Amino acid sequence: IYKWHYSGLNRWHGAGSTADFQKIIQERCDTYTQTIRPGSRSRNCQAIRQAFMSAFISKDPCKATKEDYNSLINLAPPTVPCGQQVFWSKTKELAHEYAKRRRLMTLEDTLLGYLADGLSWCGEPGSSDLNIWSCPDWRKDCRTNYVSVFWEVLSERFAESACNTVRVVLNGSLENAFDSMSIFGRVEAPNLRPQVELEAWLVHDTGKPPSDSCSGSSIRKLKSILDGRNVKFRCMDNLR
């Protein structure tokens, strides 16, 4: 019991890998390539599933690197047509509704974002299986876990490919609508190319007084990050 507790599969503080991970990836990939985006360049779902697995299987779940995901991302780079991107931070559901209604695209509308949405995965050195008991938690175990690094590297590539006008949906009912430690703040905003224009949509919960606005200090901070990169910025309050 001692050995199992301290070196076993249960030692991490986060939820374990999603049950049937491989099957879900394969099924989502088939659905995406055949039904959701049948016009897109045909993709080999078996190769994608295998590349996904090789990225983390048998590896130390706290030693993920961006390079681990190179082959996977090269099979399906997260790019979308110019001017259609929507970023989000603390507004996942709402941002996806907006995107859908306006025929725009979030990271979860790209193949890899769609495949991994909401899933958890990690492996274990010396084993060819996923650890279904526990996976490292970002705060309690390690930041360089495979799920966090996946979203970071995918988000980085997504932001780098932005062109023309792109949007971000931010939560104006939080004290800081812009969080410089979020993926949007740390990874996406700082990787937008010069000449891109970012339009921030600040949404507020109805029935609650707004906590942050386009003139607040968190949005000023976002503007200063963008100014430094020559990215144009517009902010719109209270979209709802």
Least distance CB 111 / ligand APR (angstroms): 13
Q: Tell me the residue ranges of DSSP E strands in the chain.
A: 14-15, 86-89, 134-135, 165-171, 197-203, 232-237
Which residue, 118 or 209, has its beta carbon nearer to ligand APR?
A: 118
Let me know if 45 is a catalytic residue: no
Least distance CB 233 / ligand APR (angstroms): 16
Q: How many other C-beta atoms can be found within 10 angstroms of the C-beta atom of residue 182?
A: 17
- Spatial separation of the C-alpha atoms in residues 116 and 111, rounded to whole Å: 9
Let me know if 29 is a catalytic residue: no
* Residue 108 found at the interface with ligand APR (CB under 6 A): yes
Tell me the number of residues near ligand APR by CB under 6 A.
17
The pair of three-digit structure tokens given for residue 117, joined into one six-digit string: 């949405």
**Applying CB under 6 A, which part among 5-13, 35-43, 84-92, 203-211 lies near ligand APR?**
84-92
**Ordered DSSP codes for 49-62:** HHHHHHHHTTS-TT
75, with CB counted inside 10 A (0-12, 13-18, 19+), is: middle
Please, are residues 144 and 115 in contact by the beta-carbon 8 Å criterion?
Answer: no
Choice among 29, 163, 214, 235 that is catalytic: 163
Please, are residues 119 and 92 in contact by the beta-carbon 8 Å criterion?
Answer: no
Choice among 29, 82, 122, 235 that is catalytic: 82
Which residue, 19 or 125, has its beta carbon nearer to ligand APR?
A: 19
Q: Per-residue contact track with ligand APR, 178 to 197, x per CB under 6 A?
A: ----xxx---x---------
Which residue, 105 or 214, has its beta carbon nearer to ligand APR?
A: 105
- Spatial separation of the C-alpha atoms in residues 106 and 104, rounded to whole Å: 7
Distances (CA, A) of 194 to 31, 101, 112: 35, 28, 26
Q: Which of the residues 112 through 171 are near ligand APR (CB under 6 A)?
A: 117-118, 148, 151, 155, 158
Least distance CB 138 / ligand APR (angstroms): 7
Q: Which residues bind ligand APR (CB under 6 A)?
A: 87-90, 92, 107-108, 117-118, 148, 151, 155, 158, 182-184, 188
Active site residues: 82, 163
